[in-house]
Amino acid sequence: MIGRLTGRVVAEDPDGALIVDVNGVGYEVKAPVGTLGRAERAGGDSVVLHVHTHVREDALELFAFASDGEREVFRLLIGVQKIGPKIALGLLSALPPTDLAAAIAAGDLARLSRVPGIGRKTAERLVLELKDKVTRGRVAAAGAVGTGPGQADRLVGALVNMGYRGAEAEQAVSALGERVRDAPAAELLREALAWLTQRRGP
């Protein structure tokens, strides 16, 4: 099983698939939106990714995360009945782990149901099966692990929910620079949307 990769990301597509070059070997991994912005740097262009190896009868897939904590959240999610890796990635792309924990702990079905692929019944199942684990702090603690600011993750998630591609959203948030750490979220979102509009043109 592969649990960790350190290398250069040489390709990325809008759906979150990455090719990571590790000493000349390219590993194809899937990752939540914003992973590269949060991942630990290992010198030069290299990043450290925490990997979950998912084995099925007909495939072997790698899923990559910026921290061990995010990987733990992913594993909790796919342990829920009828939640597969694709839906789990969608949840982690739309909601940072701390926000996801808060929504589950509060039983906020409306917020969970706004994530693409999550209907009301699935949201109810998430709350039913994970609420105890969240209240014990497992997901919340995992969400605190990582190097990137939570506000950047939330901005990326908001832009993705508005229909922008993950790569576009990450570029727009990156363009905000250090202000993303302390400026009001509403102001940052307006600026990110203006940047995206300017890039796309009339």
Average pLDDT estimate for 184-193: 78
Is residue 185 scored above 80 in pLDDT?
A: no
- Between strands 4-12 and 25-30, the pairing is unpaired
Give the model's pLDDT for residue 202: 53
Q: What is the pTM of this model?
A: 0.67
Q: What domains are there in the chain, each with its CATH number?
A: 4-65 (2.40.50.140), 68-144 (1.10.150.20), 150-200 (1.10.8)
Give the model's pLDDT for residue 4: 94
- Lowest mean pLDDT segment, chosen from 24-28, 73-77, 100-104, 146-150: 146-150
Q: What is the pLDDT of residues 115-155, one digit of tens each?
A: 888 999 999 999 999 887 765 544 544 443 333 446 777 77
**pLDDT band, very low/low/confident/very high, at 88 (cuts 50, 70, 90):** very high
Residue 98 and residue 95: Cα distance in Å, rounded? 8
Residues above pLDDT 90, as percent of the chain = 35
3-state class (DSSP) for residue 42? coil
What are the phi and psi torsion angles at 178 (to 5°)? -70, -15
Within 13 Å and on the Cβ side, how many CA atoms surround 94? Answer: 19
pLDDT winner (highest mean) among 45-49, 102-106, 178-182? 45-49
3-state class (DSSP) for residue 104? helix
Residue 96 and residue 92: Cα distance in Å, rounded? 6
What are the phi and psi torsion angles at 55 (to 5°)? -105, 130
The whole-chain average pLDDT of the chain stands at 82
Report how many helices (DSSP H) and strands (DSSP E) the chain contains, helices first.
10, 6
Give the model's pLDDT for residue 109: 93
**DSSP string for residues in 133-189:** HHHTTHHHHHHH-SSS-HHHHHHHHHHHHTT--HHHHHHHHHTTGGGGGTS-HHHHH
Residue with tokens 């890796």: 85
Q: What is the pLDDT of residues 1-33, one digit of tens each?
A: 899 999 999 998 877 789 999 999 999 999 998
